[in-house]
Amino acid sequence: MKNKSFSLLFAVLSIIVITSCHEKTPQLALYIPKDVSTVLVVDTKTIADKINSSGITLDSIANMFNKNKNAKNWEDVKNSGIDLTMPVYIFNKMNSSMQAGQNQEVGFIASVKDKTKLEAFLKKQAGNATVQSGGAFQYLQLDNNAVAGWNDNAVIFTGSSNNAMDSSSAQLLKNCFTQSESNSVASIDGFKTMLAKKGDMQIWVNPSGSLAALPMLGMTKINQLYEGSYTEGVVNFENGKIIADVEGHFNKTMSDILQKYPSKEVKKDMIVNFPGTVTGFVAFAFNPKVVVDILHFLGFDTMADNYVSQMGFTTTDVMNAISGDIALMYSQNSSEDTSLSGTNFLFNFAIGDKVAFDKVMNGLVSKNVLSKNGNQYQLGMFGGHGFVIETTNDALLIASSDDLVKSYTTGNNKASLPADIDKEINGKSMLGYFDINSLIGKIKNSDTTGNKTAEAAKSTFKNLVFYSNKSDGNTSSGIFELNFVNQDENSLASLVKFMVVAQNERNLREQNRITPPDFPGDESDSTQGNSMH
């Protein structure tokens, strides 16, 4: 029962997010601590409009939540005193202590319309608990790890993932209401720039906020690489696709390292030399010397060298051995082969300096990490794995079969890439593509025949494309694009329709669920009316 109120809180605020209307409220950002890990802001007017375009009402979505015993009646939510015409800010914050370990705190912030109604609503959720005063705000303890507080302008719900830190949520709530603007995300120029960008949703990520919660890393200089760096982006639900446009910003320490080694471009041949139709691939291009410099800055190079020197090489040898051009490709064997194991795959690690590469490989063989037979390797002395490891003059190849390696290296049967993917390769330092529709069809045929959710997924999702443009060392930009089968319908409407099918089937399965036997593997006991008890 301890997490009941927090589960209720999440369900209620989820509904609020998709039903509120749009009006930028930078004032709410004043309540968000500067050291949070992530912030999500929602343009809820456009979100609501796009959901409505699916033909599914918001009330019917609320009814799906109501099937959960912890969910709240939608009518109560609409009369809660929360201003549903204003946006909701959601954030999470990481911290840790020696006594309680790691803890994730979550905050939900919304505007207040009627304090009297709000207080009555919250007291009902807290079992008519006594309202307490925090000075500039009032609050109610919902349970051991969730608390709600409010003033004339905002209501803030905070929750903790760690029940051992009972006071964590209350302390976070107090900080949110009493902190100065300089201690909030509203004081960060990059955050304000993000708010000015047009998007259905806006995302802010602060890597140093997460690193601060990792004690061992906190003892290193890694925070100097990320302090002041951030990633921000916008998400838009367009017809036939969801697009996330993301941009990373580096601090001077990281920029000084990156600018020494200009960004590289993905090598197209590494992908298109794969024979047949590519079901998916990921390709990277980077300068390995960046890794050497980062290890040196952190002071890890000496420790790493002490370890690998036992095998006769250094970390610099490892970085020189590879060029930084890496690609993974895979495809299904055939449309008739519906087993998940029926997949061809190939990793290509392009060789940089051949002398350094041979030195590293010979060192691994000398310690029996690898064994060698001609140009082929295997793990350990005896192998036994279901893939091959081979080398050419310019590449280390790990593949599902030797025949695939031979076909790939001859390049006589080049891959056929979708036209819209082929044109995206130029100018990218990272590029990925997955044919989701093909993969879902394979899973459906093999494991979930007759499953309505799988059928709905196949008729909903097409593919995923993501890439990163070449960086100037100060910033990097990228796109994540989820494409849908129906290109004429808004992607959020398509997504909601799929979620309804999935939720309805889940509800049906829960209604028909058969209680498993008390003793795994002893099915006979389940037919005896639990007579052993």
The pLDDT tens digits for 202-227 are 999 998 777 655 655 555 677 788 88
What would the pLDDT profile of 282-335 be if each residue is shown by its tens digit? Answer: 999 999 999 999 988 888 888 888 888 889 999 999 999 999 999 999 987 654
pLDDT value at residue 96: 62
Query: Two tokens at 249?
Result: 């910003």
> 351 and 270 in contact (C-beta within 8 Å)?
no
User: Distance between CA 349 and CA 88 in Å, rounded?
Assistant: 45
Category of 480 on φ-ψ map: left (φ > 0), alpha (ψ -120 to 50) or beta: beta
User: So where are the chain's domains?
Assistant: 4-22+61-180, 261-434
Mean pLDDT computed over 14-32: 64
For residue 82, give the DSSP letter.
B
Residue with structure tokens 């990156």?
258
Mean pLDDT computed over 478-483: 95
For the chain, the 3-state helix, strand and coil shares in percent, each to the nearest 5, are 40, 25, 35
- Is 163's pLDDT higher than 70? no
What would the pLDDT profile of 434-457 be if each residue is shown by its tens digit? Answer: 999 988 876 644 444 447 888 899
What would the pLDDT profile of 245-259 be if each residue is shown by its tens digit? Answer: 999 999 999 999 999
What would the pLDDT profile of 508-525 be if each residue is shown by its tens digit? Answer: 877 776 444 443 444 444
What would the pLDDT profile of 76-125 be if each residue is shown by its tens digit? Answer: 777 889 887 778 899 998 776 555 566 788 999 998 999 999 999 998 88
Q: Can you give the pTM of this predicted structure? A: 0.81
User: Distance between CA 184 and CA 204 in Å, rounded?
Assistant: 13
For residue 38, give the DSSP letter.
E
User: Cβ-count burial of 118 within 10 angstroms (0-12 exposed, 13-18 middle, 19+ buried)?
Assistant: buried
Task: Name the residue with higher pLDDT: 159 or 13.
Answer: 159
User: Distance between CA 266 and CA 390 in Å, rounded?
Assistant: 22
pLDDT value at residue 249: 95
Q: How far apart are the first and last CA of the chain?
A: 26
- Is 394's pLDDT higher than 50? yes
> 143 and 3 in contact (C-beta within 8 Å)?
yes
At 275, the pLDDT band (50, 70, 90 cuts) reads confident
Phi, psi of 461 (to 5 degrees): -100, 135
> 390 and 402 in contact (C-beta within 8 Å)?
yes
- Is 531's pLDDT higher than 70? no
User: Cβ-count burial of 278 within 10 angstroms (0-12 exposed, 13-18 middle, 19+ buried)?
Assistant: buried
> Of 126-130, 212-216, 477-481, where does the model show the most confidence?
477-481
- In the chain, DSSP finds a helix count (H) and a strand count (E) of 22, 20
> 70 and 8 in contact (C-beta within 8 Å)?
yes
> 183 and 190 in contact (C-beta within 8 Å)?
no
Query: Two tokens at 229?
Result: 């760096």
